[in-house]
């Protein structure tokens, strides 16, 4: 999914 790496933000 496109969002996976993004959800490393808080």
Partner 1 sequence: MNAFRLAGDMTHLLSVVVLLLKIHTIKSCAGISLKTQELYALVFAARYLDLFIHFISLYNTVMKLVFLASSFSIVWYMRRHKIVRRTYDKDHDTFRHHFLVLPCLALALLINERFTFREVMWAFSIYLEAVAILPQLVLLQRTRNIDNLTGQYVFFLGAYRVLYILNWIYRYFTEPHFVHWISWVAGIVQTLLYADFFYYYIMSWKNNVKLELPA
By CB under 8 A, what part of segment 1-10 binds partner 1?
Answer: 1-3, 5-10
Size of the site for partner 1 (CB under 8 A): 9
Instruction: Calculate the CA 9 to chain-centre distance.
Output: 7
Look up residue 3 and give its DSSP letter.
Answer: T
Minimum CB separation from partner 1 for residue 1, in Å?
A: 6
DSSP SS3 for 2: coil
Minimum CB separation from partner 1 for residue 4, in Å?
A: 9
Q: What is the SS3 string spanning 1-10?
A: CCCCHHHHCC
Contact residues toward partner 1 (CB under 8 A) are 1-3, 5-10
């Amino acid at each position: 999914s496109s969002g996976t790496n993004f959800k490393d933000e808080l």
